[in-house]
Chain A
Amino acid sequence: MKNSIVMSDKTILDVKNLSVDFDGEKIIDNLNFEVNEGETLIILGPNGAGKTVLLKTLLNLLPYHGAVKWANGVKIGYVPQGLPLFALRELPLSVEEFFAFKKVGKSEAVIAMASVGIYDSAILKKRIGLLSSGQFQRILVGWGLIGNSDVLLFDEPTSGIDIGGEETIYNLLDKLKKERNLTVFLVTHDLNIVYREATKVLCLNKQKLCYGLPKEVLTSENLARLFGENVGFYEHHHE
């Protein structure tokens, strides 16, 4: 294991009494949780529950109260919620130049792309706007992983991607988790993904509504509290 991790029992993130408010409105209220190295924490909640705000707070992009404590020396990669590819259509920017924004050269870009399953280096010369949304999402993941990130924060990774593309993104994530002992924070409102990917789930609707192993905490009662009464219909029936 990595020497740089000095917190007890491989805890990689410890969040205590976290509150975030905008203009007096509470977006996140007194949140406590802890994530260990190699875990996949899924942050589940309806729209407007504060999921993206939580990720941004963990990245120290927003002002907050309470404590957000990362283990020493942790490198965090971030893949934001569906960058609007349509807005980038006309951007005169090649994939290689996009990687250069992260101050890496061609060889590192090639390695990063290979780690997300893109082996055709001709794509480096391609304009960002000409990529398919699936390719672009992969490039963003590869970009987030540059610099040997130990942690990947992933906000709705499949928004705006078709079902085939969605499948590849999660396959890719599985592969990366195995290869790198990556700790993953994944924001979603898709229950199926929780059962498939999560080692822990945090149900968030401004407050922590449930937290723990998906099988144990995703009861119909908790889901109803999280999403409203009708969601039982979507519940995943195990075995």
Chain B
Amino acid sequence: MLIVGTFVGGIAGYLGSVMVLKRMALVGDALGHIALPGMGLALLLGLDVSLGAFAFLLASVFLIWLLELKTSLPAEALVGVVFVASLALGFLLVPEPELLHSLIGNISNVGFFGAIVSVSLAVIVFAVIRSVRNDLILSGISPDIARAQGVNIKTQNLIYLISIAAITAVGIKITGTLLVGALVVIPAAASKNISRNLKEYLFLSVLFGIFSSILPVGTMIVLVSVVIFVFSLVFKNFRKAV
């Protein structure tokens, strides 16, 4: 279980680092909620919850991406709409006894097979994001420069959203749908407070992600990462003062 936490937490931190720079911090949070109806369906059908979540996330991500292309509305607004719709649907679908676990998660629920799937997915996502990371960050700084450089922003955004969906799908077992956003966002936000360059930033995001995910309970994981964040904030202000 420790290994799953390490991998998923670390990669979530890595993904989150790009997300924070692209100012999409709440997208991870929203995607966590979007996963809920997928989990509900999986539970009803006796399937693995991550599988249901992933299928649902993938469909939603694609829908959001497509709407963004067709309507030129900001992704944020679209995610917002799909998010509340999913949450409402999720509460209807998830059987009540499982509802609490779905919401706040439990890493000790992850079986051996689930562990292997989670770790492999995390490794794949890491490799994918690593290859498109610079272009993603550049398009966050200036879409025009990125496109003038030949970056295909639409495709990269889709790859990025699918990666978030994959990590969210495995992350929900650890922290549950309510808190999975924290897994992605907080390590990166903490790391951003104290990093002077990209290398430090990415490294610390992963490190903080790993460090907070070694505990067995979702709520604890989030609280630990919040504590790291508070420390990073203090350190940042201390450095400014000196």
Chain A residues packing against B (C-beta within 8 Å)? 56, 59, 61, 76, 78, 80, 83, 88, 90-94, 96-97, 100-102, 125, 127
B144 close to A91 (CB less than 8 A): no
B44 within 8 A of A: no
B155 within 8 A of A: no
Tell me, in angstroms, the Cα distance from A127 to B196 when the chains sit together. Answer: 6
Chain B hits for A59, CB < 8 A: 144, 147-148
Interchain nearest-CB distance for B229 vs A (Å): 15
Interchain nearest-CB distance for A78 vs B (Å): 4
CB-CB under 8 A for A101 and B201, given A78-B144, A80-B145, A83-B142: no
Chain B residues packing against A (C-beta within 8 Å)? 21, 134-135, 137-138, 141-142, 144-145, 147-149, 191-192, 195-201
Interchain nearest-CB distance for B205 vs A (Å): 10
Interchain nearest-CB distance for A236 vs B (Å): 31
B134 touches which of A56, A76, A101, A125 (Cβ 8 Å): A101
CB-CB under 8 A for A102 and B144, given A93-B198, A94-B197: no
Interchain nearest-CB distance for B134 vs A (Å): 5
A101 touches which of B21, B138, B191 (Cβ 8 Å): B138
CB-CB under 8 A for A101 and B137, given A80-B142, A92-B195: yes
B145 touches which of A76, A78, A90, A92 (Cβ 8 Å): A78
B141 touches which of A91, A96, A100, A125 (Cβ 8 Å): A91
> B134, B191, B197, B199 — which one has the most chain A CB atoms within 10 A of its CB?
B197
Interchain nearest-CB distance for B140 vs A (Å): 9
